[in-house]
A and B are shown apart, each in its own frame.
Chain A
Amino acid sequence: MSTTETPAGVPSFELDRNALRHLADAQINVELDTGDMILNLGPQHPATHGTLRLVVRLDGERVLAADPVIGYMHRGYEKLTEVRTYPQITTLINRIDWLSSFANEVPFINAAEKLMGIEAPPRATYIRTILTELSRISTFILFLGEMGLQVGALTPAFYGFRDREHVLNLIEGATGGRFHPNFNRIGGLKDDLPWGWVSETRSVMKMMLDSCDQFEDLVAGNEIFHARTKGIGVIPGDIGTAYGVSGSNIRASGVDWDLRRDGEPYLAYPDLDFKVWTHADGDSFARYWVRLQETRESVRMVLQLLDGLPSGPVMAKVPRIIKVPEGEAWVETENPLGQMGYYVVSKGATGPFRCKIRSASFSNVSILPWLLRGVYVPDVVTILASLYFILGDIDR
C-alpha cells in the first residue's frame, strides 16, 4: 500500500485492527481524560446515506483512524443471479443502485448481447442512451441538493427532489416505472416511446438547466459552502486510481478518464460530441462542481440524441426462449456513481451460470480509511456526502 505524507501529529496508516474490532462491538464507554475515543457512526445514521457503519477513533475533534464496516445491506445479488433467467435478472439489478436504476441494466444486457452476438437496432441504442443519461441527470440533481443538506442547508435537498420529479415522470412515461424501469431486453427494449415523449423531454431538459443554475447560485456559489468543502478530503489522482475510485470522484482529482469516451465503445456514445469535465483540486468542492457540470453535459447529450433519434424497430430478432450460448463476457460502463461492470459466465442455459458485479461505490468507499485520517469530525460528513455512494451499490 503506497503511503504519502501523513498530516502532522497523526499516527501512520497502520490500524490496530484487533483493537478497533473489539472496541467497536463493546459498549462505548470512554474515559474523557485518556486521549482516544471510539465513535461509531452506526448503521442507522442520517449522514451515511444508508446502512454504512464507520468506526472512527477520535482524539478530541480529529479523526485518527476510520474503518468502514459494510455488509448491512447485502442482498446476495450474485447468488440470486445464479438461479434466475435473464429477464428476471434485469428486474433485480435495477435495485443495485436504485437512484439511477436504468444505468444498472445496461452493462448486463450488453454482456448478454455480446455472448449471443446480437446487436440492438440503432433506435434501441439511442433510446437506451437517452434513458441512461436521464437517470444520470436524475441522480446528480438529487446529489446537488442532498450534499447541501449534509453540509447544513435544508432547502437544496427539497429542490433536488422537486426537480428530479420531472425526470422521473419522463422515465415513467416511457417505461412504466419511476424508479425501476426494467426496460432493457436482450436484443433491444421492451416498448417504444409513447407519443409526445420527445417534445416533453426537450422541455424538461430546459427545466433541468434552470435547476442547475439554481443549485449553482444557492449552493456552489455560497461562501459558507466553500469554507466547508474547499480543501476538505483531497484525493490525489494517483492515490485515487490506486484505490479504484472511479467516476466523477476521480475526474475531480484531475484524472481525465471517462469510459464513455475512453473505454470500449458502447451504446450511442461514439456518435455523440461531449466534453469530459475535470477539476484539478480533488477536494469535496471539486467533486460537487464536476457533477454539476456533468449534469449540464448530460442535458446537452440528451438534446443531441433527441435530434438524431433514428426511426425503426426497437427489438432485434430474438428467439422466444432465450438461451445464451456458452462463453464469458465482461462489460464495463460509466454509471453515474462510477465504473460498473458485469462479468457474465454462461453455460448455455436460460440464466447465467455466474455473474460477477463490479460496483462503483465498493471501490469508492475503500479509500475512506486513507482519506479520513486527520480530518475534523464535521468534515467526515462532508467527505461522505461528496463521494456519493449508494449502499445498495456497495453491498449488492
Chain B
Amino acid sequence: MSLTLALEVGWGTTMAIKTLVVLMIIPLGALILGYTFLLKMMSHMQSRLGPMDPGGFHGWFQLIGDGMKFIQKEDLMPDGADRKVMAGAPAVVLISTFLVFLVIPMGPDLVVKDLDVGVFYALAVSSLSVIGVLMAGWASANKYALLGALRAAGQLIAYELPLLLAVVGVVMQAGTMSLQGIVYAQRDGSIFGVDWIGNPFILTQFIGFLLFLIAAQAELTQTPFDMPVAESELVAGYMVEYTGFRFLFFFMGEFGTAFAFAAIAATLFLGGWSVPWVHGDMANLLGPFVLFAKLMFVAFLMFWARFTYPRLREDQLQAFAWKVLIPIGLLNLLVTAVFKVGF
C-alpha cells in the first residue's frame, strides 16, 4: 500500500523543521521517559501510585513543574570553582546527546542526515559526554566530586567497548554502517528464506542485543551500574555542586541519552521505523510512531532492570566489563563472522 504526498518545501524550511525537531526531541523525550518510567512504572513496581495530583490527571504535570522549579533557582557556584568550565560541562553532555539524534531515522525520508558512517558517528558522539563528566568533576573544586567524576569516567570508558562490539555484529550482518541502510536490511531481509517479518537483528544477534542493553545501562550510569551517582551516599558524586537549571541540564541529558540509546537499539535490533510490509509515504507517516513504540519497549527493559537490581561495586563493575562482557562480545563477533561468510 502506498500513498503519494507531494510536498514542495525548500531547503531552508526543511533545515528549520529538522532543527526544531532535534531540539524538541530531547526535552520531550526526557519528559516522556521520565514520566512513564521513572514516575509511573517505578511506582507501580513498588506497589504505589506515583504523582497523582499535579495537573489533575495522574500527575502528568509533575516533571514540567520540576523543570520550572529548577529554572527559577539561584545560580550558585562554589568559591574556587572554574566558572567557565563548570558552566560548560552540562552543555557538553547535552550537546553530545543532541548530536546523536542527527542520524537516527524516523522514516524513509525523515532523517536529518543519513551519514554513511551513521553508527560510528552515533557512538563516537555519545562518548563525548565523558568529557562533560570530567569537566563537571574538575571544575567543582570539590575533592569528592573529582573522585566521583574519575570513577564515572572510568566506568563510561570501560563500557564503550562492549557497546561497540555489540554494534559491530549488527554492522557485519547488515553490511553497512548507515542507520538507514541497517533498517532497510532488516525490513527487506529474510531469515533462511522466511521474509514476512523481515530480518530483525534481535533474532540473530540476541547476544548482541543483551550486550548492548547492559552496556547502555552502564553508559547511562543506571543501576546496577550507578555507583558514580549513588556514590552520593558516601562520597559526593560529580554532580554535587550543581543546582538549578544546570542540574536540570544534567537530568535532561541523562534521560535524553536514555531516549537516544533506546532509539539506537530499536533501530539496530528491532528494525527502527520499519514495518515489513509498509512502503512509501505510508512508512513516512507511520515511521515515527513505530520507532517510538519500539523505543519504549527497549526503554522498558532498561528501566525494569534499573528498578529491580542492586548496584555493583566499582571494582566488580570494571571486572564485569573487562573479564565478562568483552570476551562475550568478541565471541559473538566470531560467530557472526563465521555465519556471514559461511551462509
**Is B truly associated with A?**
yes
- Contact of B323 with A by CB under 8 A: no
Give Cα distance in the complex from A132 to B11, angstroms.
77
A155 touching B234 by the CB < 8 A rule? no
Q: Report the interface size class on chain A.
A: 20 to 34
Given contacts A151-B311, A152-B224, A376-B313, A381 and B234 within 8 Å (CB-CB): yes
Which one of A158, A224, A377 lies within 8 Å of B48 (CB-CB)? A158
- Contact of A270 with B by CB under 8 A: no
Query: B300-338, CB under 8 A of A: which get 1 and which 0?
Result: 000000011111111110000000000000000000000
- Minimal beta-carbon separation of A301 from chain B (angstroms): 27
Which one of A159, A218, A222, A380 lies within 8 Å of B234 (CB-CB)? A380
- Contact of B227 with A by CB under 8 A: yes
A153 touching B310 by the CB < 8 A rule? yes
B224 touching A224 by the CB < 8 A rule? yes
Query: B217-237, CB under 8 A of A: which get 1 and which 0?
Result: 000000110110010011100
A378 touching B234 by the CB < 8 A rule? yes
- Contact of B4 with A by CB under 8 A: no
- Contact of A154 with B by CB under 8 A: yes
B223 touching A153 by the CB < 8 A rule? yes
B308 touching A155 by the CB < 8 A rule? yes
Query: B260-299, CB under 8 A of A: which get 1 and which 0?
Result: 0000000000000000000000000000000000000000
Given contacts A46-B233, A47-B233, A155 and B45 within 8 Å (CB-CB): yes
B312 touching A153 by the CB < 8 A rule? no
- Contact of B46 with A by CB under 8 A: yes
B143 touching A32 by the CB < 8 A rule? yes
- Minimal beta-carbon separation of B260 from chain A (angstroms): 24
- Minimal beta-carbon separation of A1 from chain B (angstroms): 28
B310 touching A228 by the CB < 8 A rule? yes
A152 touching B311 by the CB < 8 A rule? yes
Give Cα distance in the complex from A162 to B310, angstroms.
19
Closest to B230 in A: A152
A227 touching B47 by the CB < 8 A rule? no
A158 touching B311 by the CB < 8 A rule? no
- Minimal beta-carbon separation of B158 from chain A (angstroms): 16
B47 touching A381 by the CB < 8 A rule? no
A369-386 residues with Cβ-Cβ distance < 8 A to B are: 376-381
- Minimal beta-carbon separation of A309 from chain B (angstroms): 32
A378 touching B309 by the CB < 8 A rule? no
- Minimal beta-carbon separation of B186 from chain A (angstroms): 33
Which residues on the B side are within 8 Å of A151 (C-beta)? 310-311
B307 touching A154 by the CB < 8 A rule? yes
B234 touching A377 by the CB < 8 A rule? yes
- Contact of A116 with B by CB under 8 A: no
- Minimal beta-carbon separation of A49 from chain B (angstroms): 12
Give Cα distance in the complex from A377 to B311, angstroms.
14
Which one of B143, B146, B308 lies within 8 Å of A153 (CB-CB)? B308
Closest to B312 in A: A224
Give Cα distance in the complex from A32 to B143, angstroms.
8
- Contact of A181 with B by CB under 8 A: no
Which residues on the B side are within 8 Å of A39 (C-beta)? 234-235
- Minimal beta-carbon separation of B105 from chain A (angstroms): 35
A227 touching B223 by the CB < 8 A rule? no
- Minimal beta-carbon separation of A27 from chain B (angstroms): 12
Which residues on the B side are within 8 Å of A158 (C-beta)? 46-48
Give Cα distance in the complex from A101 to B310, angstroms.
30
- Contact of A329 with B by CB under 8 A: no
- Contact of B93 with A by CB under 8 A: no
A155 touching B235 by the CB < 8 A rule? no
- Indicate the member of A41, A46, A151, A152 with the most B CB atoms within 10 Å: A152
B313 touching A379 by the CB < 8 A rule? yes
- Contact of A69 with B by CB under 8 A: no
B234 touching A152 by the CB < 8 A rule? no
Closest to B45 in A: A155
- Minimal beta-carbon separation of B226 from chain A (angstroms): 7
A162 touching B223 by the CB < 8 A rule? no
Query: A36-66, CB under 8 A of B: which get 1 and which 0?
Result: 0101010001110000000000000100000
Give Cα distance in the complex from A153 to B230, angstroms.
11
- Minimal beta-carbon separation of B233 from chain A (angstroms): 5
- Contact of A247 with B by CB under 8 A: no
B47 touching A218 by the CB < 8 A rule? no
Which residues on the B side are within 8 Å of A379 (C-beta)? 313
- Contact of A148 with B by CB under 8 A: yes
Which one of A32, A148, A377 lies within 8 Å of B235 (CB-CB)? A377
Which residues on the A side are within 8 Å of B315 (C-beta)? 376
B234 touching A224 by the CB < 8 A rule? no
- Indicate the member of B47, B233, B316 with the most A CB atoms within 10 Å: B233
Given contacts A30-B143, A154-B42, A155-B46, A224 and B311 within 8 Å (CB-CB): yes
- Minimal beta-carbon separation of A289 from chain B (angstroms): 16
- Minimal beta-carbon separation of A114 from chain B (angstroms): 45
Closest to A31 in B: B143
B309 touching A153 by the CB < 8 A rule? yes
Given contacts A30-B143, A32-B143, A47-B234, A155 and B307 within 8 Å (CB-CB): yes
- Contact of A77 with B by CB under 8 A: no
- Minimal beta-carbon separation of A9 from chain B (angstroms): 16
B313 touching A154 by the CB < 8 A rule? no
Give Cα distance in the complex from A324 to B19, angstroms.
85
Give Cα distance in the complex from A30 to B146, angstroms.
13
Give Cα distance in the complex from A219 to B309, angstroms.
8
Which residues on the B side are within 8 Å of A222 (C-beta)? 309-310
A224 touching B309 by the CB < 8 A rule? yes
Query: B4-48, CB under 8 A of A: which get 1 and which 0?
Result: 000000000000000000000000000000000000001001111
Which residues on the B side are within 8 Å of A159 (C-beta)? 46-47
- Indicate the member of A32, A47, A61 with the most B CB atoms within 10 Å: A61
A152 touching B310 by the CB < 8 A rule? yes
- Minimal beta-carbon separation of A50 from chain B (angstroms): 15
Which residues on the A side are within 8 Å of B311 (C-beta)? 151-153, 224, 228
Give Cα distance in the complex from A32 to B226, angstroms.
24
Q: Residues of A with Cβ closer than 8 Å to B?
A: 30, 32, 37, 39, 41, 45-47, 61, 148, 151-155, 158-159, 162, 218-219, 222, 224-225, 227-228, 376-381
Given A228-B313, A377-B234, 8 extra CB contacts under 8 A: A41-B234, A151-B311, A152-B226, A152-B309, A154-B46, A218-B308, A222-B310, A381-B234
Which 8 residue pairs across A and B have the least CB separation, nearest first? A152-B311, A158-B46, A152-B310, A151-B310, A153-B310, A378-B313, A47-B233, A162-B47
16 inter-chain pairs at a CB distance below 8 angstroms, sorted by A residue, are A39-B235, A46-B233, A61-B314, A152-B224, A152-B226, A153-B309, A155-B308, A158-B46, A222-B310, A224-B309, A224-B310, A228-B310, A228-B311, A228-B312, A228-B316, A376-B313
